[in-house]
Structures are given as structure tokens and as C-alpha cells.
């Protein structure tokens, strides 16, 4: 048989009936894999069709010594570099806690809950993956111990293990492995798996055991383990200490997993001697000891990892020889703009979880992206809504150039938010309301323009006479809390000529949701007659998605029922954020103009 020249030839040849013989002869060719320039292939076929399925390779990222070392950022940075070299990459996170997903967790516990297109409530690290790689993740990209056990227990109830004792090994570990490999079937070259928690935790043992088994089962070149650890600097001794890293690698080895690469978080540069010591005692190559120094912004980390050759070391271990020089033009352009802004605005973030930065992670990152796009430094100041009153609102907000009222749940701090929205509306201060923030703007308008003093959301006041924000019909029978909100991507139809239309440059958009309450369409006509425009609606249900004031009334007054911050990425900053920062810049200019006119007239 003539040797096929490329993949297409194989597909065509595969259509002939005698596939089995053909395949055997292909596999027998000594240089079959290299002749197609593919790294390793598994051939699956049936009588009608022959298909080449490239096997994904797997990189596991574990953490040692302490939590909060930034495994998510390292995983995302490595993913970015491999993607920039032309490989198809995805990242997933395995979390060792027993909640089925983080949807019911208080932001104080675990930071923001990140929602994917398909409506999964996930760990905030998935936000980093999407922001760095400009990819969509999904339910499959975030798995918790709770979800693993739920699957195994459901199978047990269905009788899948009849007669057998169901155990952590092999049943739980098999389910973990199945899910670790799942995304590898979606055509990715590389699947990066971040293992939450710290090596040595009781909870993460089954995950580490699953990695151990995969390291053993997969071909050597299909599996890389990157271990992130801390190299503390003892100021008194003026020395970096490697002992905690040695211990954490030893712990990992005791659990049967040997790291290929050690990424060291450090405040001070690693000397060649320290690198040699880590390599020697942790049994890795010297070039596989990577320095991850503290960076001024997380967006510098991919470039720092590139300088340390983290991507090349992984590629070498995976025996991948065909890759491009990293294409990071857009990324570097963004970093330049971020580092050298030409102007500055101060935005007030009004929320109730403001003590914890992670609670509004995606919003803060969207400001970074939008700021860079505007070549403007965005200084976000946190304003606790609980402490805003009519008496102090002026003093609390008058130094701001824009106001963002954040998403949230429950009644704490609500009145302060409404007072803040009123201030922004009356002082023509750019206002951006997200989800609960948009609902607050509707209530404010009802109370102060429509003069419905009792207007409220039934979330806070179930007996209100004007339920301008009400529970969705579909939510009324819902009692379970986990995964039952209106979640994930929904379409929105935008009114032509509106501010929303100008912002998006389109009349059809899709954004992600996470809420139970809605604008009550019973009052829509009243609002529109009073000047508040519902410029975006769901095309099927008619649910209001966007409210705005005409720009001749207010320069930027914009509320959205959805969460636009979730789709902002380095390479595609979210347009509302971009326009909001632009409006804040204009506001600064108008303030300065006013000031100079006042000076002139006073002079």
C-alpha cells in the first residue's frame, strides 16, 4: 500500500472498506508518527470512517507549603504561553471541598463565584483562565470532591457497583481520573489541571493519588507535574530558605508523585546556588527550578515565566518539538498601556463584601482591562454601603469620578446603595449598576422620580406596595439553593440608537447571569414614561436586561441585570467597562473645566 502523505489522505483512505488491514499497516510503519508531524496519536475507527484523534497531554499543577501562592495564575500563565506558541490549551481546576460547587459559598469564604457560559457556578480561578487565554470554560473545568462523591453515590444507588464495596480507591479515584481526562477528548493539545489545596491536606489525598495513577498509566511524555512552592526569605538571616520546599516535595513523593518542575514563589531572586540546592534535594533538573518572583501585576507573570522558560521545559518533557515562537503582541501592548497610563480616574465600588478583594475579582480585573484600553489608571476605592446615609453621602462620594454599585444578595447595606445611586443620578456622576446594582437603580428611580416611596425588591421587602423588582415566575417554586438561579449566558436584544447600542456596536448580544429577581415588567410603561429606558431585553421572555438614561439627561447612567465583568479579557476588554472609564475620564475633564472657569470668574 502506498504510504499516505498527510492526514487528509488517511481520512480518504479510511473510507474504503478494508479499514482494519489498512490501520494495522499504518501502525506498523516505523516512522508513522513522525511522518505526519504529530506527536502521538490514537487511531479510532469504524468500518465507515477512519478518524485520527490526537491524544491530549496533561500538565498537573500542585501546591505546597502554604495556600494562596497563586497556583491559578501560574497555571493560567503557563497555559497562555503554550497557547501563544500555537497549541490548543484548556485549564481545569479540581477543588478538594465537599460543596458540590462554590455557588452557595459566602464570598468571605471563597471569594467570587465565577459563572461560565453554560451556567456553572465555579471557582474564581476559572476567571483567570478565561481572562488570560480568552477561552470559554464550562462545568467540566471545575470539579469538587462533592461533585465526585455525588456522581459515585448516584451510580451506587442506580446499582452500577452491585455486589461491590464502594471505596475511595478505586471508585473515587477512578471518577477523579475520568474527569481529569475528560477535556482531553475535546481536541485540546494540552489540558492543564490545577489541584486546589496544599499537598499534605487530608482532603486532597484522593486527587494526588489520581495524579499518581495517571503519571503511571499515561506515556511518560504525556504527563507533567509542576509543583508550586514557597521559598521564604528570612529577613533577620538575610537568607532564602529551601527546607519547606524540600519537605513539601518529600510529602508529594511519599504520596507517590514526583514533580518534574518546581516553581518557587519568592520575594528575592534565587541564586544559582539555591537553584542547585533545590534541584539536588528535590530531584529535578536544575533548569526545572523556576523562579516566580512577586510581580507588580498578575499580567506580568506569563512574561516572567517565559523568561524562566517554564513553557519550554514542559514542552521538552512532553516531547513536543513543533511549536512557534510565542505570539504575545497584543498581550505586551496591553501591558505597556497598563504600565504607562496617561490619565487617572477614581471609581467608587459600592458593595458589602469590600473588605475582601477576591469577592469582586472579575469586576476589578475588568477595570484593569478597560483602564489599559483607555490608557488610564483606574483607582478603585471601596465604599461600604452599610455606612452611607443621606447626611454623609456627599462627603463619601464627592471625590469620585464614577460609581459602580456591585452585585449582591440580601438586605444588608441596601439603603446606602439606593442613596448612592441617587447621588450619582442627581450629580451626573457616571453610574454603572451590575445585577443588584441595576436593581437598586430601578428602586431609586421609582422612589424619587415616580414618587413611589415604598418601592422595593421583594427580596428585601416581600410585602412592598410597589414590587418594582420581583422574583421571576420560574423561581417561585424553587426551594433548593444550589445551582437554581438564572445562570449562564442568555441573549439580549438591544434598542437601536440607545447608549447600549453605541457601547456594544450591535443589537444582539449575549451575557452571563446569576440572579433570581428581575425588573417587574408590570411597571415598565410607568418607568419609560418617567424617562428610564429599558434598552435591552431578552428576546424570548421580554425580561429587562439593561436600563439607561438618555445621554442628554445624564452622561452615563447604565444598569445591567447580567454580569458583564465575567467576559472581560486582556485581549477583549468588556465594552461597558471601557465606556464607563471613558465617561469617568470625561467627568474628570468637565470637573477641571468647571474649576478653571470658577477660578477665572473669581479672579
Q: Can you tell me the distance from the alpha carbon of 300 to that of 580, in angstroms, rounded to the nearest whole number? A: 25
Q: CA geometry: angle at 69 spanning 65 and 74, to 5°?
A: 120
String marking each residue 423-462 x if it binds ligand GLN according to CB under 6 A = ------------xx----------------------x---
- By CB under 6 A, is residue 413 in contact with ligand GLN? no
Among 4, 70, 408, 413, binds ligand GLN (CB under 6 A): 408
The piece of 136-144, 393-401, 489-497, 511-519 that touches ligand GLN (CB under 6 A) is: 511-519
Q: Residue 96: name the closest of 61, 138, 139, 148 by CA.
A: 148
CB of 408 to ligand GLN, least distance (A): 5
The piece of 66-74, 257-265, 406-414, 440-448 that touches ligand GLN (CB under 6 A) is: 406-414
Burial (0-12, 13-18, 19+ Cβ within 10 Å), 358: middle
Across 96-187, where does the E strand assignment appear? 114-115, 121-122, 142-144
- By CB under 6 A, is residue 517 in contact with ligand GLN? yes
String marking each residue 38-77 x if it binds ligand GLN according to CB under 6 A = ----------------------------------------
For the CA atoms of 288, 70, 266, 320, what is the dihedral angle to 10 degrees?
Answer: 20
Contact 351, 408 (CB under 8 A): yes
Q: How many residues form the binding site for ligand GLN (CB under 6 A)?
A: 10
CB of 419 to ligand GLN, least distance (A): 18
Give, in order, the Cα–Cα distances in Å from 542 to each of 87, 301, 471, 524: 41, 44, 15, 11
- By CB under 6 A, is residue 409 in contact with ligand GLN? yes
Residues 203 to 232 in contact with ligand GLN, rule: CB under 6 A: none
CB of 471 to ligand GLN, least distance (A): 8
Cite the DSSP H helix spans in 384-493. 393-397, 414-426, 436-448
Angle between helices 205-217 and 173-182 (to 10 degrees): 60
Contact 208, 195 (CB under 8 A): yes
The piece of 75-83, 267-275, 508-516, 539-547 that touches ligand GLN (CB under 6 A) is: 508-516
Give, in order, the Cα–Cα distances in Å from 239 to each of 222, 231, 271, 279, 282: 37, 10, 11, 18, 19
Q: Which is nearer to ligand GLN, 348 or 408 (CB)?
A: 408
Q: What is the DSSP letter of 40?
A: -
- By CB under 6 A, is residue 516 in contact with ligand GLN? yes
Give the residue numbers marked as catalytic: 435, 563, 565
Q: Which is nearer to ligand GLN, 135 or 544 (CB)?
A: 544
Among 317, 456, 514, 579, binds ligand GLN (CB under 6 A): 514
Among 85, 466, 515, 554, binds ligand GLN (CB under 6 A): 515
C-alpha grid cell for residue 370?
A: 478597560
Residues of the shown chain interacting with ligand GLN in the complex, contacts defined by CB under 6 A: 407-409, 435-436, 459, 514-517
Amino acid at each position: 500500500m502506498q504510504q499516505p502523505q498527510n492526514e487528509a489522505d488517511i481520512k480518504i483512505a479510511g473510507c474504503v472498506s478494508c479499514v482494519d488491514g489498512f490501520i494495522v499497516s499504518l501502525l506498523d510503519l516505523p516512522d508513522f508518527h513522525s511522518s505526519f508531524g504529530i506527536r502521538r496519536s490514537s487511531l479510532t475507527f469504524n468500518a465507515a470512517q477512519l478518524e485520527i484523534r490526537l491524544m491530549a497531554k496533561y500538565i498537573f499543577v500542585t501546591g505546597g507549603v502554604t495556600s494562596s501562592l497563586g497556583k491559578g495564575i501560574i497555571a493560567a500563565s503557563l497555559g497562555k504561553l503554550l497557547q501563544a506558541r500555537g497549541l490548543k490549551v484548556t485549564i481545569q481546576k479540581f477543588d478538594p471541598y465537599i460543596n458540590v460547587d462554590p455557588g452557595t459559598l459566602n464570598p468571605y469564604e471563597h471569594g467570587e463565584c465565577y459563572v461560565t457560559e453554560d451556567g456553572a457556578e465555579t471557582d474564581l480561578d476559572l476567571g483567570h483562565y478565561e481572562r488570560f487565554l480568552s477561552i470559554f470554560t464550562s462545568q467540566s473545568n471545575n470539579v469538587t470532591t462533592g461533585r465526585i462523591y455525588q456522581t459515585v453515590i448516584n451510580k451506587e444507588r442506580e446499582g452500577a457497583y452491585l455486589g461491590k464495596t464502594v471505596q475511595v480507591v478505586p471508585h473515587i479515584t477512578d471518577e477523579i481520573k475520568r474527569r481529569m481526562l475528560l477535556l482531553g477528548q475535546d481536541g485540546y493539545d494540552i489540558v492543564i489541571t490545577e489541584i486546589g489545596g496544599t499537598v499534605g491536606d487530608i482532603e486532597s489525598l484522593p486527587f494526588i493519588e489520581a495524579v499518581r495513577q495517571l503519571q503511571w498509566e499515561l506515556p511518560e511524555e504525556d504527563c507533567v507535574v509542576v509543583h508550586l512552592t514557597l521559598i521564604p526569605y528570612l529577613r533577620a538571616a538575610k537568607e532564602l530558605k529551601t527546607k519547606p520546599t524540600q519537605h513539601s516535595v518529600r510529602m508529594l513523593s511519599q504520596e507517590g508523585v514526583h514533580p518534574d518542575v518546581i516553581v518557587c514563589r519568592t520575594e528575592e531572586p534565587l541564586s544559582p546556588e539555591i537553584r542547585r540546592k533545590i534541584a539536588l534535594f528535590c530531584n529535578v533538573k536544575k533548569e526545572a527550578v523556576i523562579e516566580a518572583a512577586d510581580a507588580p501585576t498578575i499580567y506580568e507573570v506569563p512574561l516572567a515565566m517565559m523568561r524562566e522558560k517554564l513553557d519550554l521545559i514542559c514542552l521538552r518533557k512532553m516531547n513536543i518539538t513543533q511549536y512557534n515562537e510565542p505570539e504575545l503582541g497584543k498581550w505586551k501592548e496591553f501591558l505597556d498601556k497598563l504600565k504607562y497610563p496617561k490619565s487617572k480616574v477614581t471609581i467608587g465600588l459600592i458593595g458589602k463584601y469590600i473588605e475582601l478583594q477576591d469577592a469582586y475579582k472579575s469586576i476589578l480585573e475588568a477595570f484593569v482591562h478597560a483602564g489599559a484600553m483607555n490608557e488610564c489608571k483606574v483607582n478603585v476605592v471601596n465604599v461600604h454601603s452599610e455606612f452611607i446615609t443621606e447626611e454623609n453621602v456627599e462627603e463619601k462620594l464627592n471625590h469620585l469620578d464614577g460609581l459602580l454599585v456591585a452585585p449582591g444578595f440580601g438586605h444588608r447595606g441596601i439603603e446606602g446603595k439606593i442613596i448612592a445611586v441617587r447621588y450619582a443620578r442627581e450629580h451626573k456622576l457616571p453610574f454603572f449598576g451590575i445585577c443588584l446594582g441595576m436593581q437598586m437603580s430601578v428602586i431609586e428611580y421609582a422612589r424619587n422620580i415616580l414618587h413611589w416611596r415604598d418601592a422595593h425588591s421583594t427580596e428585601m421587602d416581600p410585602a412592598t406596595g410597589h414590587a418594582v423588582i420581583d422574583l421571576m415566575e420560574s423561581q417561585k417554586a424553587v426551594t433548593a439553593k444550589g445551582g437554581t438561579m438564572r445562570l449562564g449566558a442568555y441573549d439580549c436584544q438591544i434598542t437601536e440608537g440607545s447608549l447600549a447600542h453605541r457601547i456594544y456596536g450591535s443589537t444582539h448580544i449575549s451575557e452571563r447571569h446569576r440572579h433570581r429577581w428581575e425588573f417587574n415588567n408590570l411597571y415598565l410603561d410607568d418607568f419609560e414614561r418617567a424617562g428610564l429606558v429599558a434598552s435591552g431585553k431578552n428576546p424570548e421572555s421580554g425580561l429587562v436586561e439593561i436600563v439607561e438614561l438618555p445621554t442628554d439627561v445624564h452622561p452615563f447612567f447604565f444598569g445591567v441585570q447580567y454580569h458583564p465583568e465575567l467576559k472581560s479579557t486582556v485581549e477583549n476588554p468588556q465594552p461597558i467597562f471601557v465606556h464607563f472609564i471613558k465617561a469617568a475620564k470625561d467627568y474628570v475633564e468637565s470637573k477641571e473645566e468647571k474649576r478653571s472657569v470658577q477660578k477665572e470668574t473669581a479672579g
